[in-house]
Amino acid sequence: MIKERWPIKKQLVWAFVLVMVISILLTLLTWAAGVSFLFSNQWLQPANYYESQIPEIQQKVQEQARHKIQWTDTANQAKLEQLLPPEGITYQVVDTRGTRRYGTIQEQVLENETDLLSRLNSKTVTDSTLGFGGLVTLISPLSGERGTYSGALVLQYRLETSPSPSVSPVWTNTFLVLMLASPFVYIAAATWFMAGRVGRNVKRPIEDLILASKRIKEQDLDFALDNHAPNELGLLSASFEDMRKELKSALTREWKLQQERSELMGAISHDFRTPMTVIQGHVELLKDSPKHVVQNAESISSHLDVIDHNVKRINRLIQDMTVAAGTDFDYFPLRREPVDPSSFWEMKQREVRFLCSSQGVQSEFRLVDRRLHTSSPLLLDVQRVGQVLDNLVANSLRYVPPKGEIRLDVDIQNSSLMQVTVCDTGPGFTEADLQHLFDQFYHGHQGQTGLGLFTAKRIVEKHGGTINAGNLPKGGACITFTLDIGQSSPGSFYS
């Protein structure tokens, strides 16, 4: 009857109404059954119980008077009392002048003969409450031996329900007390029942909230609150569920951020290996071939230039780690500067050749400059473009088998556009890898992380270019990117 979806106030109001209705109905039934029991078993006497005996008493008194009983004579008091019930009716016998002769009524009822005559054969009621009950005084004439008027019999009784003298007052009073206490018993029982019903409606969502709080405390957010009742507890559960979702979303974002930072540190640490390998290789050449190196000053300068270039690359990677420690991984500071294409690509050719030879892989390099003035400098960030090439070459070296080949083609198409292609003879990319190759932290089917290619894409885009990946018809991976190498407006050397 009381629905769980109702507002709590409505549930309480209905519970109160039902408690009162149930208590009143049960009380009425109990009282009706109790009264019926009392009267049927003569534990109580009805209000007219004594009044109904009056005609019989009057008849017996008249019959006894016809048998020469003089009722005004005090000697006949015992005989008269035998005709009256022991309790409930009091009497007084008066003579023709209204003077008291004897009886259980001690005070004088009639003032004089006139009062007697005026009230003879009459019934008066006093001490009534709202017209109900009261003390009844009935005055009946008494006749002598020959039917002559000799006085009057005054009878008094109350019109009220009274306990039967045949039953102990203790039992009757106890029964009446129980009947009077029954409403309170029913109210308590109905309240207990309705409180349990309302309590069950409230208990389940509250227990769900307590359990949810404990699970959140234990860092378990993989649950849901399904209480959608349109009441206060439903709104509370919905708010709690929204809080749980937001908390789970925030923790998930934080966990992903920590994971991305961890993978970023690992990827950047991997990027350190290429320049460190180049530096180590050139230092070993200088140490292991001192006589040959000393005889060739130009070779010494070449090795030192490579070492210097890679030291700068390491410094830039350190800066990248500082940027990655922040929240904006997309930020890449570019330092565009005029670069001699021949010197730059000759240095990159030596680095690529050295890396390939260290792993038993062949390398091929081709440079085509289609500009009218081939000696004009290129405008680009040397360190960042070198980082792109290193990432692409390092990615190819992971999958090119021994005695395989990596080919680097540079095509300076005009004064503002340069295209670079890195191809290899490895297994190539799968169709699934091609769709997500440049996504941040993408793990390919062969286990590689996409951070290096993602970084390459961001650098190329910062240079105003594009980057694409594909497979050669005969097999092998091929990545092509373009760079804007034209003159920029003043103040744009740093972006």
What's the pLDDT tens digit per position in 317-374? Answer: 676 565 555 444 555 567 888 999 888 999 889 889 988 998 899 999 999 999 888 8
Average pLDDT over residues 108-123: 91
Q: How much of the chain exceeds pLDDT 90, in percent? A: 28
| Residue that terminates a domain, selected from 176, 209, 242 | 209
Nearest CA among 53, 102, 59, 97 for reference residue 77? 102
Mean pLDDT of the chain: 83
The Cα–Cα gap between 423 and 177 comes to 106
Backbone φ and ψ for 471, nearest 5 degrees, come out as -120, 145
Residues 383 and 491 in one domain: yes
- Output the domain CATH number for residue 485: 3.30.565.10
What is the radius of gyration, based on Cα positions, of the chain?
A: 59
160-192 per-position pLDDT tens digit: 887 777 777 788 788 889 889 999 999 999 999
User: How many domains does the structure of the chain reveal?
Assistant: 3
Q: What is the pLDDT of residue 84?
A: 92
Let me know whether 358 and 459 are in one domain.
yes
Report if residue 39 sits inside a domain: yes
Are 460 and 385 in the same domain?
Answer: yes
Helix (H) / strand (E) element for 364: namely: strand 362-369
Q: Is the dihedral of CA 56, 57, 58, 60 positive or negative?
A: positive
Residues 6+ apart with CB under 8 A from 475: 425, 427, 428
Q: What is the dihedral of CA 358, 360, 361, 366, to 10 degrees?
A: 60
Structure-token pair, residue 34: 């109790």
User: What are 379-407's pLDDT values in tens digits?
Assistant: 988 888 988 898 899 888 888 998 899 99
* Closest to 208 in 3D by CA, of 235, 228, 226: 226
Range of the domain at 82: 51-160
Assess whether 360 and 409 both reside in one domain.
yes
pLDDT tens for each residue of 10-59: 888 988 999 999 999 999 999 999 888 877 877 777 888 888 889 999 88
Same domain, 118 and 175: no
Residues 171 and 149 both lie in one domain: no
Answer yes or no: is 35 within a domain: yes
Q: Is the pLDDT of residue 156 over 90?
A: yes
Q: What is the mean pLDDT of residues 465-474?
A: 92
Q: What is the mean pLDDT of residues 419-435?
A: 90
Q: In this structure, is residue 357 part of a structural domain?
A: yes
Assess whether 76 and 155 both reside in one domain: yes
Q: Residue 408 forms beta bridges with which residues?
A: 365, 422
121 lies in the same domain as 200 = no
Considering only CA atoms, which of 439, 407, 443 is closest in space to residue 424? 407
Average pLDDT over residues 290-309: 68
Quickly count: other Cβ atoms within 10 Å of residue 186's Cβ. 20
Report for 90-94, 194-198, 231-235, 264-268: range of highest mean pLDDT:
90-94
Query: Is the same domain home to 490 and 429?
Result: yes
Same domain, 32 and 60: no
Residue 490 and residue 353 share a domain: yes
The last residue of one of the domains, among 209, 239, 268, is 209
Instruction: Name 366's bridge partners.
Output: 409
Between 443 and 128, name the one with better pLDDT: 128
Same-domain status, 372 and 453: yes
Q: What is the pTM of this model?
A: 0.43
Task: Give, in order, the Cα–Cα distances in Å from 24 to each of 14, 19, 145, 357, 456.
Answer: 15, 8, 61, 103, 85
What token pair was written down for 166? 């045949």
